[in-house]
Structure 1
């Protein structure tokens, strides 16, 4: 059973995030509840990654407000330095980790605990337990000692997700997590997101995969420089709304994905 409360983990009101050199996304009004998954959909340059990085504090907020709350705060707003306090975890499209670096999967996932360790502290029992839980959540516990570079691409992606989960976040941000995954790893990721929702984690996922949105997301936000529509999946994810969002691109919708001529990535 999914845990959902009336108190949002993330609340944006009139928020805008703008890069110092220009470009960004604005007019954002969004609530994400504990145990809720929200799909973020829009064309290249729409501001999806900017929004995710803005929530992390990596892109300046230039208008509006942002609040983050965790179950531990009992409704009190978290500090604005939310990216530093472990409330938010992020899985980017591509990782900087060299797969040939001699490190085990378990050691990669332990990196997710370093933020909370501080200087001159070694991982303890609680850290090792968090790593085990994260690996179990993504279905890779039996591969903990395997060299990271020996894993398949899909397994490495799930391992990096486990690294994000090891910090026990209240909010998980995913940027195109299904890109390049085979069916087995897609299925595993779907089950992982369902498990996270059931445990009360809030999820915001940038994706073009409509199957993901329909299978595991409770609502959808369409963005193209600004927020165009938001609400329940079946109400927002219509051909008319999507064509308006991808204005001038000739979008079609098949059973699973957005078909956007000449469009790659997000």
Structure 2
């Protein structure tokens, strides 16, 4: 099934719920994301932000509702349209692998396991590295890069798959200002290319600078809509009611949470 281009939605979730087999999940997700739209997912630890992202990827079972990407509901068929930057990647910095090789991993779903990378794959890797400002470091050993550069390299891996939807899980945690600025600029460029983004974050400055829509989660979807309408003191205090937060126009300080 192909979506009607007139509706503008790349990602559609209707009353969607995702649950881990061992317990825990998120429900009541009602969301439509257009090409070039960036959505901030905000909520306390354990609210279901990562579960939602993993559910869209097909890594956590959907237990209710519907999910479509470009009108496609089948998880296997829609998987190629989704890129993912996890909070922590299981890559040993001591492993002897170059940044180019890490980014090429993003092409595997298109390549399959029996075909060698071709010219188009190498071009996709080069374009992805250029998009994150690391075109000059492709031959460097991954472990020799700074933490911020490794994070941007992993984002390039996600971009190499040429996704229609990009999922970023707390991408700004631990980044210094130069790497943060570079990542913000990359997000803006991706929006301009028509990529739909979902970004899990506690960083309100990020939400205000590069996101069009905010979704507040705490086990269920509490509210969703334009940033200025949803990201209010009352809504945020309701979302973090069990923790208590400090809130201003830039930063959300959550007790016990490292970073923003």
Q: Is residue 2:97 matched to residue 1:96?
A: no
Distance 1:183 1:260, change over 3 A: same
User: Gaps spanning 5+ residues in structure 1: where?
Assistant: 70-76
Contact 1:57 1:83 in 2 (8 A): no
Contact 2:36 2:190 in 1 (8 A): yes
SS in 1 for 2:103: helix
Q: Which residue of structure 2 lines up, in the alignment, with residue 67 of structure 1?
A: 68
Q: Which runs of 4+ in 1 moved over 6 A?
A: none
Q: Is residue 2:247 matched to residue 1:261?
A: no
Contact 2:39 2:215 in 1 (8 A): yes
Shift of 1:120: 2.1
Shift of 1:65: 0.8
Taking the aligned partners of 1:8 and 1:261, their CA distance within structure 2 comes to 36
Q: Is residue 2:193 matched to residue 1:192?
A: no
Instruction: Calculate the aligned-residue CA RMSD, in Å.
Output: 1.6
Shift of 1:253: 1.0
Matched residues, number: 256
Q: Is residue 2:222 matched to residue 1:211?
A: no
CA offsets 1:116-172 (integer angstroms, 9 cap, x no match)? 112321000000000011001000001111111111000000000000000000000
Taking the aligned partners of 2:237 and 2:55, their CA distance within structure 1 comes to 26
Taking the aligned partners of 1:60 and 1:175, their CA distance within structure 2 comes to 18
Q: Which residue of structure 2 lines up, in the alignment, with residue 72 of structure 1?
A: none
Taking the aligned partners of 2:257 and 2:148, their CA distance within structure 1 comes to 23
User: Gaps spanning 5+ residues in structure 2: where?
Assistant: none
Q: Which residue of structure 1 lines up, in the alignment, with residue 103 of structure 2?
A: 109
Taking the aligned partners of 2:50 and 2:127, their CA distance within structure 1 comes to 28
Taking the aligned partners of 2:24 and 2:153, their CA distance within structure 1 comes to 32
Query: TM-score, normalization: structure 1?
Result: 0.93
Shift of 1:83: 7.1
SS in 1 for 2:80: coil
CA offsets 1:162-202 (integer angstroms, 9 cap, x no match)? 00000000000000000000000000000000000000000
Taking the aligned partners of 1:180 and 1:5, their CA distance within structure 2 comes to 40
Q: Which residue of structure 1 lines up, in the alignment, with residue 151 of structure 2?
A: 157
Query: TM-score, normalization: structure 2?
Result: 0.95
SS in 2 for 1:12: strand
Q: Which residue of structure 2 lines up, in the alignment, with residue 247 of structure 1?
A: 241
Shift of 1:256: 2.5
Taking the aligned partners of 2:59 and 2:243, their CA distance within structure 1 comes to 30
Taking the aligned partners of 1:135 and 1:95, their CA distance within structure 2 comes to 18
Taking the aligned partners of 1:226 and 1:167, their CA distance within structure 2 comes to 30
